[in-house]
Amino acid sequence: MKISLGCELGYRVGGRAVLILNVQPAATPRQRVLSETLAVTPETVRTESWTAADTGNRYLRLHVGEPAELLVRHEATVELTPHLADPAEVTELPPAELPPEALPHLWPSRFCESDRLSRLAHREFGDVPPGHGRVTTICNWVNDRITYLPGASTPTTTATETLLAGAGVCRDFAHLSVALCRALGIPARFVSAHAPGLVPPDFHAVFEAFLGGRWWLFDATRQAPLDALVRIGLGRDAAEAAFAEIHGEATPSRMTVRAEVIEGLDVARDIRTTRAVAGAAEAP
Amino acid sequence: MKISLGCELGYRVGGRAVLILNVQPAATPRQRVLSETLAVTPETVRTESWTAADTGNRYLRLHVGEPAELLVRHEATVELTPHLADPAEVTELPPAELPPEALPHLWPSRFCESDRLSRLAHREFGDVPPGHGRVTTICNWVNDRITYLPGASTPTTTATETLLAGAGVCRDFAHLSVALCRALGIPARFVSAHAPGLVPPDFHAVFEAFLGGRWWLFDATRQAPLDALVRIGLGRDAAEAAFAEIHGEATPSRMTVRAEVIEGLDVARDIRTTRAVAGAAEAP
Amino acid sequence: MKISLGCELGYRVGGRAVLILNVQPAATPRQRVLSETLAVTPETVRTESWTAADTGNRYLRLHVGEPAELLVRHEATVELTPHLADPAEVTELPPAELPPEALPHLWPSRFCESDRLSRLAHREFGDVPPGHGRVTTICNWVNDRITYLPGASTPTTTATETLLAGAGVCRDFAHLSVALCRALGIPARFVSAHAPGLVPPDFHAVFEAFLGGRWWLFDATRQAPLDALVRIGLGRDAAEAAFAEIHGEATPSRMTVRAEVIEGLDVARDIRTTRAVAGAAEAP
Amino acid sequence: MKISLGCELGYRVGGRAVLILNVQPAATPRQRVLSETLAVTPETVRTESWTAADTGNRYLRLHVGEPAELLVRHEATVELTPHLADPAEVTELPPAELPPEALPHLWPSRFCESDRLSRLAHREFGDVPPGHGRVTTICNWVNDRITYLPGASTPTTTATETLLAGAGVCRDFAHLSVALCRALGIPARFVSAHAPGLVPPDFHAVFEAFLGGRWWLFDATRQAPLDALVRIGLGRDAAEAAFAEIHGEATPSRMTVRAEVIEGLDVARDIRTTRAVAGAAEAP
């Protein structure tokens, strides 16, 4: 499947400022970046870029030295070849068998306080048969209890706060799901993404659970087809996968995001929710 | 029904200290104190007592002037004539019809943060038919989700913390139930009590909801027959109905509590959970 | 001193709604309401009013039966004769000497979690000489640490959250001050008020501490002269002294508030911050 | 300097259990493990070990298949050659100059909610001259406000909770310090360690701040000489550097820890607090 995507981010910069952006899609064997352009104005802005070794997140650091209307335009075409499987055959691994690199994703993190939800998670999901279906059960449970409501949460809202509030946005759905997975002993992590079909168009947040030796994608908001998601950032939670970090006098002034399936659209629709999907993290 | 009850509270006092106790049963038309003795040693301890106008709580202030082994012994016989009714006939009043004195019991309080649970309460209980049965549904919901576990909570644990933790003691069951009632527009308040039959014997905490013009008793722990409860303190939550407040150098050294039905035991057993019970608050 | 004050509150009501307002000044020997008008439109709105026995708060319940633009206009002239004293002569009472009616104001409440601030309060203020000056020290401490910033808090923000956030509005300044007083054993409570001179004009929130047998006014925001404050509501915290509670489909559409000293202005200015002020709560 | 250290950890295992331990010292150019023995009984326990690529943490996974008294004994001799410098010459780097690998340590984490402390941190430390001395100022501020009190915190206690509670243990001192550093734009991370001289002997928790291109050690508890600390685990906070994670039916039954300087003791005493110390993380 091919996705055409892009974003335009504007910032009003009042003096010196440093911005660290993570908006470019990760480049992996299952997520090939076919073409890409990045334009930053004004031209006096110095840029640096790097890819984080542990996550594959691609960072762009912008150094603005004087008052300016900063504009970042990114466009790319990406080819996805997700790994698909029958959910019934995707099993959970006990702590004894989890590979070392998956274990840190059992730990609680800033916005996913799994250590406070152990009893609740076991009460609600302890009797659900382990496997891909149990994580889907968690997604359904979250979807039943949390109203999608822009403005209901803030940048410091955590999973437990979302559970109490009963409302949130994609980021909050992902945090609560991740926290519940970890509380059950299922490694889970946060993914920021481009999601074709999102209404209104925006960046999206979903999550991955580690099952049967792979990371599988889940979206408790049910707003986007999993096999068409383009991974941007990966982290323990949103604290580690922000689109933009601002240091200094800069404030967002505009943002537009777009993503369209330009090849393979029918596939995306057909398999929605019926297959287990492992995305960009996987080797082919 | 007649109840014989008592408690013995010991404190190790290191110097000057003031203790404010609320362990004596309230005296109301439906809860008559037939006989009562109170003994405080050493005799040098000065005592004051008063009854709070708004709650009927009976307070005892003890002034200890020097290091001592303080011992307070209280014994009483109480006659209860609770008002009983068919739960199906006990209705809710809308905010438009609640009497002024019930309205403050809709407000959130220290340990019952109903203002944070509005969406959750309406999602879980919004479709349950209003009335006594809806509060029973809340009790059942709390009982299903909270494990009775001494040590699981602390003196600062709140209703939302209990909901997340999934465990607590009688005080926590009452707080969470009260918070959910208030979030639905049902006035609710906290009651500390002697409860015959409690294993092990201890003070108990239950709550009251205001329905159809009266305050009705509920116990989400299901540990004691409602018609045999002897009210001690009344308050918005445990912050306002503590058995003992200590100012100065005193630490608890012993506590025994007892309560037995000495007349009318069969009644207590028979009506358990089948009738709505309005206790000490009510005029006959 | 005479104060002319008023407010105009508008609500867009979509269907049936009940509003409970507490915007009228309390009537006490030290705060005489010389004249007052209250107008509610449309005329089909049914109104009830009462005064709470424990606080003197004056409530107005409005029953709206159909979609409407509800408008409430209140105007009054109030005469204040506050009790003034030399702060140096206003002392603290130990728990042993506090009158029973002051003791409940030592308890933690929804927005003033004094039970979580005991150690911090004693570390910061334990060595400050007791009395009116210690509460002023608390006000100064709060004023140094909290930035007055509209929008920094929400209706559920508590004293500990304000302390961490370092910003808030008048209500938050009052909550944090109240919590610190209680943590030190000084009874304290929340007061909503009309405050002449507030820029921009608005309702105000201050607090009272119980010292030497009286309730004394304090304002950690330093925005208004204490002797010109007109008390509206009294409560443990803002949960108990809200200007408006809405049940049903009503949303605020407009609000204007005004208060001017029309007689005795010079007095107000001269004594600002130099005298201890006991306001509406006191008998002359 | 040479340190002899060891620990003995016992667990009562009721059935199947998996334990993941991180008690062995990291092996780095500045922290050489001269000799080491590890003994696990009973012998039927299967063990696996690995070193995490990103932190250098050494993990031991123990598979217990049946009820047992599990005992783990570790002994080692370690040679430390910390990098020392004049604190006055250790500067802070602005966000523009921080290397990519340091940036994640600006993010908030489970127990270090730096995102909630920005305003407070800037108010308290914004005017302190940047550099090693500013982090020492943070340590002193924490030491002034937090009482070292075993039992005052729990495994889920966070930095903001510690700040409010005013008490905690080494882990809490480290969390609060880390959170304040990050809030100021100073990368900081959590370190678990063997600390010679600790009374009573125990594992210790300290932290590192990234200054002038290196990670420097700090201990807000002031309980151990920094140049004699032996690093065990490294992480964003204690969630990522636990000594033991237990999955299944195992409960701790005993723990002894020891660490002694066996060569170079005088050095340790002399330089205490007067030099900046970069420990195991550094290449020589």
pLDDT tens sequence across D114-140:
999 999 999 999 999 999 999 999 999
Respond yes or no on whether the N-terminal peptide bond of residue B42 is cis (omega within 30° of 0). Answer: yes
Q: Which residues pair with B137 in a beta bridge?
A: none
Name which of B18, B63, B107 is nearest C240 (Cβ-Cβ). B107
Residue of chain B minimizing CA distance to C19: B96
* Owner of token pair 């106008």: B53
> What DSSP element (H or E) covers D248?
strand D244-263
Whether A123 has its CB under 8 Å from any CB of chain B: the answer is yes
Q: Which two tokens stand for residue B265?
A: 């035991």
Mutation to test the C interface, candidates D114, D118, D120, D141, most C Cβ within 10 Å: D120
Q: Which of chain C's residues have a Cβ under 8 Å away from the Cβ of B46?
A: none
Q: What rounded mean pLDDT belongs to chain D?
A: 94
- Name all chains with 3 or more CB-CB pairs below 8 Å to chain B: A, C
CA C44 to the chain's CA centroid: 32
User: What are phi and psi for residue A35, nearest 5 degrees?
Assistant: -155, 155
Angle, vertex CA D80, rays to CA D78 and CA D81, nearest 5: 155
Mutation to test the B interface, candidates A120, A148, A153, A162, most B Cβ within 10 Å: A120
Q: Which of chain C's residues have a Cβ under 8 Å away from the Cβ of B240?
A: 104, 107
Across B94-106, average pLDDT: 96
Respond yes or no on whether the N-terminal peptide bond of residue D42 is cis (omega within 30° of 0). Answer: yes
Name which of B63, B109, B185 is nearest C110 (Cβ-Cβ). B109
* Contact between C30 and C284 (Cβ < 8 Å): yes
Whether A165 has its CB under 8 Å from any CB of chain B: the answer is yes
Give the pLDDT confidence score for residue C276 in this predicted structure. Answer: 87
Residue of chain C minimizing CA distance to B112: C110
> What DSSP element (H or E) covers A216?
strand A214-218
- Name all chains with 3 or more CB-CB pairs below 8 Å to chain C: B, D
The answer to whether A166 contacts B116, with C-beta atoms less than 8 Å apart, is no
Residue of chain D minimizing CA distance to C159: D164
* Contact between C82 and C278 (Cβ < 8 Å): yes
- Name all chains with 3 or more CB-CB pairs below 8 Å to chain D: A, C
With a cut of 0.85, is the ipTM above it?
yes
Mutation to test the C interface, candidates D114, D164, D180, most C Cβ within 10 Å: D164
Long-range contacts of C196-199 (CB under 8 A, 24+ apart): C196/C3, C196/C5, C196/C224, C196/C225, C196/C228, C196/C259, C196/C260, C196/C261, C196/C268, C197/C223, C197/C224, C197/C225, C197/C228, C197/C261, C198/C223, C198/C224, C198/C259, C199/C223
Q: Which two tokens stand for residue C164?
A: 């961490």
Residue B212 identity: G
Three-class DSSP labels, D192-238: EEECCCCCCCCEEEEEEEEECCEEEEECCCCCCCHHHCEEEEEECCH
Q: Which of chain C's residues have a Cβ under 8 Å away from the Cβ of B50?
A: 100
pLDDT tens sequence across A223-244:
988 999 999 999 999 999 999 9
Whether A156 has its CB under 8 Å from any CB of chain D: the answer is yes
What is the SS3 assignment for C143? helix
> Can you spell out the DSSP letters for chain B?
-EEEEEEEEEEEEEEEEEEEE--SPP-BTTEEEEEEEEEEESTT-EEEEEE-TTT--EEEEEEE-SSEEEEEEEEEEEEE--EEE-GGG-----TTTS-TTTGGGGS-BTTB-GGGSHHHHHHHHTTSPSSHHHHHHHHHHHHHH-EE-TTS--TT--HHHHHHHTEE-HHHHHHHHHHHHHHTT--EEEEEEE-TT-SS--EEEEEEEEETTEEEEE-TT--S-GGG-EEEEEESSGGGS-SEEEEEEEEEEEEEEEEEEEE-HHHHHHHTTTSEEE-TTS--
Compute the distance between CA of residue A7 and CA of residue A29 in angstroms, rounded to an integer. Answer: 23
Please choose, from the candidates B204, B224, B207, the residue with its C-alpha nearest in 3D space to the C-alpha of residue B216: B207
Q: Which two tokens stand for residue D201?
A: 């002997």
Residue of chain D minimizing CA distance to A17: D96
pLDDT by 10s per residue, chain C, length 284: 999 999 999 999 999 999 999 999 999 999 999 999 999 999 999 999 999 999 999 999 999 999 999 999 999 999 999 999 999 999 999 999 999 999 999 999 999 999 999 999 999 999 999 999 999 999 999 999 999 999 999 999 999 999 999 999 999 999 999 999 999 999 999 999 999 989 999 999 999 999 999 999 999 999 988 999 999 999 999 999 999 999 999 999 999 999 999 998 765 554 455 688 887 766 54
Whether C96 has its CB under 8 Å from any CB of chain D: the answer is no
The answer to whether D119 contacts C160, with C-beta atoms less than 8 Å apart, is no
Please choose, from the candidates C97, C96, C70, C85, the residue with its C-alpha nearest in 3D space to the C-alpha of residue C8: C70
pLDDT tens sequence across D69-111:
999 999 999 999 999 999 999 999 999 999 999 999 999 999 9
pLDDT by 10s per residue, chain D, length 284: 999 999 999 999 999 999 999 999 999 999 999 999 999 999 999 999 999 999 999 999 999 999 999 999 999 999 999 999 999 999 999 999 999 999 999 999 999 999 999 999 999 999 999 999 999 999 999 999 999 999 999 999 999 999 999 999 999 999 999 999 999 999 999 999 999 989 999 999 999 999 999 999 999 999 988 999 999 999 999 999 999 999 999 999 999 999 999 998 765 554 455 688 887 766 54
* Contact between C27 and C105 (Cβ < 8 Å): no
Mutation to test the C interface, candidates B110, B236, B243, most C Cβ within 10 Å: B110
Alpha carbon of C126: minimum distance to chain D alpha carbons (Å): 13
Name which of D52, D107, D185 is nearest A240 (Cβ-Cβ). D107
pTM: 0.95
